[in-house]
Structure 1
Amino acid sequence: MKHRQSITFFLSLLVAGVVSCLVGGYFFIRTFQAGDCDGGCNGSTLVSWVAGAFVAFLLMGYAWKRQRTKRGKNPYSALAALAAITVAIPGLLYLVQGSHPSSPLKTNQDNSYMLIAERDIPALRIAAGERCIFSTVDCHTNPSHIDAVCTQGPTTLKASDWPAFKRLPKEDFGIPPTEAVQTFPNACPKRQ
């Protein structure tokens, strides 16, 4: 009977750990991708943090089970509390991140160069004063474009939108810009 209860608890621990770490992990990863690392997060690093949380969940759940059974208490209430905490903490971080306006973008290794919108661009939902970060200017496509991360998220800035932006080289990450980046918004030759 006791062996059967242990197996049942272990299976419950696994299911609760998987479900709560998947839900909590989703919120955790979305929080960082939404702003804390300006879209330049290393996804595998974030997933490894979630995997670490899963292992910690299993170890803590087992430890709480032993403690509660020694006292003659039901271990499932501790398991439910652990699952709630595992979802609530990243869930609250995600809600707080979504309820606050994004902080100014910071250039990083992935997106080294900074732009600022000098006027509104309603089609892209970009307001005057918003910053965007990018890594390269693509002159080989038609139309030429920049893949950027702006305050509201990733976007593509076509050459026709470039005059609305101004470079902010003092806010760049420090990687020497290419000639195309230096001459922005006149980076690409005009096409006839």
Structure 2
Amino acid sequence: MTVQLTLFVTHSDESLVIDALTQLDHQKLHDIFEEKVGDLIRPDVFYINQVSKFETVEHILSFMLDALYEKGYTPEEFKADVFKREFFSATSFAYGFAMPHSLKVMANVSCLSVMQLRQPLMWGEFEIRLVLLIAISKADRNYMNMFFEWFNDVVNDPKRYGELLDAKDHAAFVNCIVGNNK
């Protein structure tokens, strides 16, 4: 990126430099986000178009948490901590998704387990179709702000959120995230 300045630096020149730095910073964050999101959303804990065999929040959480533990992504106490967090207050939102997580940063490996439900399920006060179970290690806790900023943008854009809900597989889901985050 090149910014051409006048002989005597003006306020307009300062604005050009600030804009250029902002664009470079945004591109750097996008590149980091794209790399990290591919690592976080693991195909082995990604469940698409799930049917009604999961009739309760507890069934869904147990299934997802057991898979994380069996794969070595979380310690044994992670499951109890997520249920404890959910007991305090449901992690569902009016937009139709839930983001369960532990009270402590304790994952062995950071990952985001995703479950897309074919039919909505009542989770706390809201019907949800998408579960994003967050497991974060201490090493990766700083990257979560990027994820939350991205997700906030997605849920506030009905088209993008609809694309996530309609993704047919892991690759389409991840592509929806990184392809629309520029």
- TM-score, length of structure 2 as denominator length: 0.26
Larger relative contact order (Cα-Cα within 8 Å, sequence gap ≥ 6): 2
Q: More strand per residue: 1 or 2?
A: 2
- TM-score, length of structure 1 as denominator length: 0.25
Structure showing greater radius of gyration is: 1
